[in-house]
């Protein structure tokens, strides 16, 4: 039987957040998803998020318009999206404070509807090197919740759950497949076209993950 | 001479943020202000913020539309705004994760425009008891910046500055007066009507502050 938990989840419409949702639906009695329209080129992911939310018949799915700022490859059409690079630098697709903003919204929403958990499908293994996907970031944000919210200071802190944090992309895909998560409804490509490019960071990590996991990725590639 | 600093400031249009700005203009070469339309009843503060930004002729002032959530007295017309109470509980005017969201936006903006400082005029002395106005909250959010942003992980962390954090309202008003800050352009009342009510938490703290500081508050009261 499911625990009587109410959870907010950040749902991008990608592979990771969809797998995260497949885990969350098992452990929570009601789920409220948030997606963001922040001027990203790959707006296609919002349609994917809607389909995934419908697939799981969750309690609610809200798409928030987020005024963000230009200057990065994911929101500025004048900056090229780089192909995959195995370097250690943070790529130009980094959106300043994106996950911090997303988590802040999720937190505000969770506290408003009296949810006790926030799920975010970040991973620090096969990732693009963004600082806001790492364990010490999650720990620091949890501390903000503990000391900076009403529920936190009243001893009933909302918890951030990151079930994929230490999973490789292949492990994530195996987890998704084991629970029949609808990966065919997801998108990962930064370009956001009808067919995925297969060359950007996000596509390369996805394809590598499917190969290692021994599954076929059924979305279309150029 | 001013240091070559670029700063983002959260400007509500109230007494505290205006005093904070009067301090920031002395120490920074350029200032970028952010205000938020989050469905607050006291939208009047946004007009005040504009006037204050013009008064100081700062670099830029952006008003961000922020979709927030109902369920608190500041955004929900069905919940009464309480009069001042000296109790220790967090009042119904608490907006879930408000300063966390505001700081997240300021952070995203600062990192985008390569500003090195964020000013927020919170005080933990004469305040309404909100948890996101206290030193341990600021410290926790600073840690999020240090570990969760590109600039932070590259050793060039954006710093949160809170010059009013340990000031009483009277000290804040004395500070403002010493630098001719335009307190006559500010508003504090939670009701947001043409004239201030003089009874809500925010009005009572303001009036008490002026009295203790020995100055006359020239805004109009009912």
Size of interface A-B (CB pairs under 8 A): 127
Per CB-CB distance under 8 Å, the chain A contacts of B136 are 147
Cβ distance A96 to B152 less than 8 Å, yes or no, reads: no
CB within 8 Å of B218: residues ≥ 6 apart: B183, B184
Question: In the block, which residue shows the tokens 């937190």?
Answer: A107
Of A67, A97, A109, the CB nearest to B149: A97
| Phi, psi at A117, each rounded to 5° | -140, 150
Classified as helix, coil or strand, B196 is strand
Residue B181 distance to chain A (closest CA, Å):
29
Q: Specify the DSSP class assigned to residue B43.
A: T
Q: Rounded distance, CA A116 to CA A5, Å?
A: 7
Contact of B79 with chain A, judged by CB distance below 8 Å, is answered with no
Pull the structure tokens for residue A106: 């999720």
Residue A114, sorted as left (phi over 0), alpha (psi -120 to 50) or beta, turns out to be left
Minimal Cβ distance to A69: which of B112, B140, B152 = B112
More confident site: A173 or A82:
A173
**Do B206 and B15 contact (CB within 8 A), yes or no?**
yes
A105 CB neighbour count, 10 Å cutoff: 26
Chain A: give the shortest CA distance to residue B88, in Å: 12
Backbone angles phi, psi at B200, to 5 degrees: -70, 165
**Which residue is listed with tokens 């009601």?**
A30
Q: Which two tokens stand for residue A48?
A: 């994917």
- pLDDT tens digits for range A182-207: 999 999 998 888 899 999 888 999 99
Contact yes or no for B96 and A90 at CB 8 A: no
Domains detected in chain A: 6-213 (3.40.50.620)
Distance CA B21, CA B176 (A): 9
* Tokens coding A46: 């919002």
Q: What 3-state class would DSSP assign to B194?
A: coil
Contact (CB, 8 A) for A177 and A213: yes
Interface of B with A in 132-161 (CB under 8 A): 132, 134, 136-137, 140-141, 143-144, 146-150, 152-154
Contacts of A98 in chain B (CB under 8 A): 108
Bridge pairing between strands B159-161 and B117-119: parallel
Helix (H, G, I), strand (E, B) or coil at A209: helix
From the CA of A108, how many Å to the nearest CA of chain B?
A: 5
d(CA B80, CA B201): 13
A82-95 pLDDT, tens digit per residue, is 666 666 667 777 78
Per-residue pLDDT of chain B (222 residues; tens, 9 = 90+): 456 789 999 999 999 999 999 999 999 999 999 999 988 877 889 999 999 999 999 999 999 988 766 556 666 666 666 666 666 667 777 788 899 999 999 999 999 899 999 999 999 887 777 888 899 999 999 999 999 999 898 999 999 999 999 999 999 999 999 999 999 999 999 888 889 999 988 899 999 999 999 999 999 999
Report whether B128 contacts B93 (CB < 8 A): yes
How are the residues of chain A apportioned to helix, strand and coil, as percentages rounded to the nearest 5? 40, 15, 45
Where residue A79 falls among pLDDT bands split at 50, 70, 90?
A: low
For residue B59, which phi and psi values (nearest 5 degrees)?
-60, -45
pLDDT of residue B1: 42
Residue A217 CB neighbour total at 10 angstroms: 21
Counted residue by residue, chain A has a size of 222
Count Cβ atoms within 10 A of the Cβ of residue A5 and give its class: 0-12 exposed, 13-18 middle, 19 or more buried.
middle
pLDDT at B84: 65
Phi, then psi, of B207 in degrees rounded to 5: -65, -40
Question: Contacts of residue A137 in chain B, CB cutoff 8 Å?
Answer: 144, 147-148
CB atoms within 10 A of CB A84: 17
Q: Rounded to whole angstroms, how far apart are CA atoms B126 and A208?
A: 56
Please, are residues B102 and B120 in contact by the beta-carbon 8 Å criterion? yes
Q: Does the ipTM exceed 0.90? A: no
Asked whether A109 and A32 are in contact (CB, 8 A), the reply is yes
Q: Which residues of B touch A132 (CB under 8 A)?
A: 148-149
Q: How many CB atoms are closer than 10 A to CB B17?
A: 26
A189, A41 Cβ separation under 8 angstroms: no
Q: Where are the beta strands (DSSP E) in B129-217?
A: 159-161
**The two structure tokens encoding residue B61:** 């002032």
Question: Whose CA is closest to A35, among A18, A56, A57?
Answer: A18
């Amino acid at each position: 039987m499911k625990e009587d938990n109410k959870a907010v989840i950040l749902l991008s419409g990608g592979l990771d957040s969809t797998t995260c949702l497949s885990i969350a639906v098992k452990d929570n009695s009601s789920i409220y998803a948030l997606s963001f329209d922040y001027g990203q080129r790959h707006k296609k992911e919002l349609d994917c998020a809607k389909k995934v939310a419908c697939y799981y018949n969750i309690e609610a799915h809200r798409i928030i318009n987020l005024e963000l700022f230009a200057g990065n490859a994911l929101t500025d059409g004048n900056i090229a999206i780089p192909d995959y690079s195995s370097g250690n630098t943070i790529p130009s697709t980094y959106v300043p404070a994106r996950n911090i903003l997303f988590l802040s919204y999720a937190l505000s929403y969770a506290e408003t509807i009296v949810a006790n958990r926030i799920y975010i499908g970040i991973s620090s293994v096969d990732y693009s090197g963004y600082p806001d996907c790492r364990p010490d970031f999650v720990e620091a944000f949890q501390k903000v919740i503990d000391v900076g919210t009403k529920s936190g200071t009243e001893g009933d802190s909302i918890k951030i759950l990151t079930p994929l944090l230490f999973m490789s992309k292949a492990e994530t895909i195996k987890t998704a497949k084991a629970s029949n998560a609808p990966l065919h409804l997801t998108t990962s490509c930064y370009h956001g076209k009808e067919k995925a490019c297969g060359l950007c960071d996000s596509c390369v990590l996805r394809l590598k993950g499917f190969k290692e996991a021994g599954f076929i990725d059924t979305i279309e590639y150029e």
